[in-house]
């Protein structure tokens, strides 16, 4: 997996899934990049009362929120966009998780609203 921006860098990631309460799935992931660690945690579930899939996400870079899941073919796609603080900058962050029969893909984009500089990553996970 690579992060693409002004430079290209290799990133190492790990994600684990566990059963949560009431048919929910909990996830926890961590990536090491550029001498820093990014961690995300959350829950994915179908919420009967709202008749939709929902995903909650928190991270160690002051980024959190809830994404509505959309069924796309045989996959479920959760997209989350939020303006947050990433290393003391005003940054627009977009994150997504795609659940498909072949695995899980995490997409992460960050754009500095002042400089316009951005980084993007697409991280595929497969069951080991």
For residue 103, the SS3 value is strand
Chain mean position to CA 34: 18
In this prediction, residue 83 carries a pLDDT of 53
Q: Average of pLDDT values for 78-89?
A: 62
Q: Are 115 and 5 in contact (CB under 8 A)?
A: no
Answer yes or no: CATH 3.30.420.40 is held by domain 2-125.
no
Instruction: With cut-offs at 50, 70 and 90, classify the pLDDT of residue 34.
Output: low
CA-to-CA dists, residue 71 to 27, 29, 119, angstroms: 19, 23, 27
Higher pLDDT, 1 or 19: 19
Q: Average of pLDDT values for 79-105?
A: 73
In this prediction, residue 11 carries a pLDDT of 72
The pTM of this model reads: 0.73
Q: How many residues does the chain have?
A: 128
Nearest CA to 63 out of 13, 109, 11 is that of 109
In this prediction, residue 16 carries a pLDDT of 87
User: Which tokens go with 15?
Assistant: 């994600």
Question: What's the rounded Cα separation, in Å, for the pair 42 and 34?
Answer: 24
DSSP structural state of residue 20: -
For residue 60, the SS3 value is coil
Nearest CA to 105 out of 117, 121, 82, 122 is that of 122
In this prediction, residue 2 carries a pLDDT of 45
Dihedral of alpha carbons 64, 75, 38, 21, sign: positive
């Amino acid at each position: 997996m690579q992060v693409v921006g002004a430079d290209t860098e290799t990133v190492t990631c790990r994600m684990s899934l566990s059963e949560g309460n009431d048919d929910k799935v909990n996830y926890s992931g961590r990536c090491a990049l550029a001498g820093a660690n990014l961690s995300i945690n959350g829950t994915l579930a179908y919420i009967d009362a709202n008749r939709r899939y929902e995903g909650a996400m928190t991270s160690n870079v002051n980024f959190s929120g809830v994404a509505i899941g959309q069924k796309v073919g045989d996959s479920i796609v959760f997209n989350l966009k939020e303006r947050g603080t990433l290393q003391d900058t005003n940054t627009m962050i977009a994150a997504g998780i795609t659940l498909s029969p072949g695995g899980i893909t995490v997409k992460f984009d960050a754009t500095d609203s002042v400089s316009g500089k951005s980084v993007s990553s697409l991280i595929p996970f497969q069951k080991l």
